Amino acid sequence: MAAAAFSCCHGAGGMVVIVVVVMAMLGGVVAGGEPPRAADLVARLTAAEKVAQLGDQAAGVPRLGVPAYKWWSEALHGLATSGRGLHFDAPGSAARAATSFPQVLLTAAAFDDDLWFRIGQAIGTEARALYNIGQAEGLTMWSPNVNIFRDPRWGRGQETPGEDPTMASKYAVAFVKGMQGNSSAILQTSACCKHVTAYDLEDWNGVQRYNFNAKVTAQDLEDTYNPPFRSCVVDAKATCIMCAYTGINGVPACANADLLTKTVRGDWGLDGYIASDCDAVAIMRDAQRYTQTPEDAVAVALKAGLDMNCGTYMQQHATAAIQQGKLTEEDIDKALKNLFAIRMRLGHFDGDPRSNSVYGGLGAADICTPEHRSLALEAAMDGIVLLKNDAGILPLDRTAVASAAVIGPNANDGLALIGNYFGPPCESTTPLNGILGYIKNVRFLAGCNSAACDVAATDQAAAVASSSDYVFLFMGLSQKQESEGRDRTSLLLPGEQQSLITAVADAAKRPVILVLLTGGPVDVTFAQTNPKIGAILWAGYPGQAGGLAIARVLFGDHNPGGRLPVTWYPEEFTKVPMTDMRMRADPATGYPGRSYRFYQGKTVYKFGYGLSYSSYSRQLVSGGKPAESYTNLLASLRTTTTSEGDESYHIEEIGTDGCEQLKFPAVVEVQNHGPMDGKHSVLMYLRWPNAKGGRPTTQLIGFRSQHLKVGEKANIRFDISPCEHFSRVRKDGKKVIDRGSHYLMVDKDELEIRFEA
């Protein structure tokens, strides 16, 4: 029996073409996105037509009414033009811009998964709206980036939620769910979590991401690098995973069947497609020398579980690979079923997208809405981290500021707000313009020729500072220092910035205020210890509303509550090879380890650090179950003894039902003691009695954000799952729970939980 299904396509000009495709009804299932429907379409394609689908620019099949499709679009912190699938500049375009939210690392500093969900939701809505008006060639967004920010020099760390796997996992779930929508009938967009796995190096000391072989232990893979991707698939139901350029223990990620087929699609259950990073298949042969011929590279990638290559390499060489017997048409069929199934779940074969009952009503009016602009401002304000506030210099009383000097290369540069992977913002408020909204007598001087600060007008800046009532310095980094393809070699501020800041502080009438616009951390020990620098704020790359957000914090219209999502290391950390992937410290060789979980060295600022204009108290008031509630379950389980003499329970033996039985709530009482209302994030950690067996020093297990008025108390509940939160990963990659004491921690307040029969 045959059924008619509509196929729809439209170009950037907005013209909609409707054609009819006849598809067999297999097993009585014809609903969009069901595998039988995709399988039927694939079966109707010729070998040449199949091969033409294997790149990010998939060819159309006119005889079947299948439109061409652009897979590559970007939406990291707003719709971006990087993938060349989204268009804002064509004549007659109804949408000329999209909401530009803060770069991800700053958004992460809010420690608020509801905020992250709403940002994903807004971006997904704008993507679908852009598609409906004919300015998007696809709805597959290659975002988010949930790699672990392992090394502070990494140029793309700014794109990630930070260094902690729990935090990155929660960000992934919230953002992906927001992007993909909540309809069971159709996806709003398809989100793609990248780059699996252990990718966090661009170009360091002659080692490039294209030829880097990351030597990673099973322990680090399981408890650091893989959790965000697992959460993407298992918890958020992401419909795409992108494999990295990285070689992992000698095997390129995109040629790694254990990773792509066994783990991502098998163990985690990916219901979607796997894409390569751009030209990753070509790089297997050309840079990594993993295969001898292009045909070998294409064959090994497809057989490993890759479905589509960003680029044209597989389209160019797959036919020859079949002819040489290295690849079969069935290998390609498997990939194409995954690809077409996603296009069907997006509604691409169900007629005019504007007639879709769920998302068809979205259009130009749903882009750059007042709600989305307000959300961009909220995200920037909530992420800003107050690092120093000597003598309570902030917030400022606008009526008491007679004059001000605004100095710095990032003070009036719109590009300094938006980081990388961006599109045209709805609007842009620089820090200078933000301050001008509060005070009018302002003198501005860039002070440096650029963020690189190769040339500094130090004397002129000092003169301006000495004649002003207050001085604001907007310094930091830019994409010329940290970006895709570019790692840093130093953690210090670039060029003459430090000497300029010091000279200005010396000349100023009162302590100056330093605002850092950076992605990755910088060593500002000189400013931290200088009494003439009264306040320091980290504002990341704060998006289109960044300047207004900073000004509202400076003048007390917003109480800062952001916390650092990464450790800020001193410059001496740059002695550690960036290529050393070990997370855990090795005291015998002087290797200090990485991230707050394992690092054994000095810090400039610690993970989770952040000040407020208010004083808050936090106290664990309840948690845990009576010991007898564990007894029957744990008594039935065997324990194993480690080489250190510790006994542990295997998570696999406890099982899903057992893990559910072990869950319990923990409650933290938090109070705002004033003097301002504010939003406060409570971070809960787990501490083990010791660090034997490679246990982390501490491990973040949850966080909650709560707005509190002055004097208000709130009880914040954390749902504790011992199987998830008390477990640790052994050297062989297996998860166990140690028998004995585990300590829930909020600040210095601890609650002991005994885990034993």
Q: Which residue has the higher pLDDT, 54 or 184?
A: 54
* pLDDT band at residue 12 using 50, 70 and 90 as cut-offs: very low
Residue 353: is its pLDDT beyond 90? no
Residue 3: is its pLDDT beyond 50? no
CATH 2.60.40.10 residue ranges in the chain? 616-755
Please state whether beta strands 678-687 and 740-746 pair in parallel, antiparallel, or not at all (unpaired): antiparallel
Torsion of CA 162, 167, 173, 176, to 10 degrees: -20
> Tens digits of per-residue pLDDT, 24-72?
333 333 333 447 899 999 999 999 999 999 999 999 999 999 999 999 9
How far CA 143 is from CA of 178, 241, 253, 263, 275, in Å, comes to 12, 9, 18, 20, 12
User: What does the pLDDT read at residue 625?
Assistant: 62
What is the residue type of 750? E
> Tens digits of per-residue pLDDT, 308-346?
999 999 999 999 999 999 999 999 999 999 999 999 999
Q: Which residues contact 415 (CB under 8 A, 6 or more apart)?
A: 478, 479
User: What is the CATH number assigned to the segment(s) 382-575?
Assistant: 3.40.50.1700
CATH 3.40.50.1700 residue ranges in the chain? 382-575
Q: Which residues contact 167 (CB under 8 A, 6 or more apart)?
A: 108, 111, 161, 565, 700, 703
Q: Which residues does the annotation mark as catalytic?
A: 277
> Tens digits of per-residue pLDDT, 210-249?
999 999 999 999 999 999 999 999 999 999 999 999 999 9
Does the domain at residues 34-62+191-346 carry the CATH identifier 3.20.20.300? yes
Residue 156: is its pLDDT beyond 50? yes
User: What does the pLDDT read at residue 628?
Assistant: 59
> Tens digits of per-residue pLDDT, 646-683?
788 889 888 999 999 899 999 999 999 999 999 999 99
User: Whole-prediction pTM value?
Assistant: 0.95
**Alpha carbons 651 and 629: distance in angstroms, whole number:** 18
CATH 3.20.20.300 residue ranges in the chain? 34-62+191-346
- Long-range contacts: 748-751, Cβ < 8 Å, 24+? 749/618, 749/619, 749/620, 750/620, 750/687, 751/620, 751/623, 751/624, 751/666
Q: What's the burial of 27, exposed, middle or buried (CB within 10 Å: 0-12/13-18/19+)? A: exposed
> Tens digits of per-residue pLDDT, 251-279?
999 999 999 999 999 999 999 999 999 99
Would you give the end-to-end CA distance of the chain in angstroms?
61
Residue 511: is its pLDDT beyond 50? yes
> Tens digits of per-residue pLDDT, 387-416?
999 999 999 999 999 999 999 999 999 999
Q: Which residues contact 580 (CB under 8 A, 6 or more apart)?
A: 591
Does the domain at residues 616-755 carry the CATH identifier 2.60.120.200? no
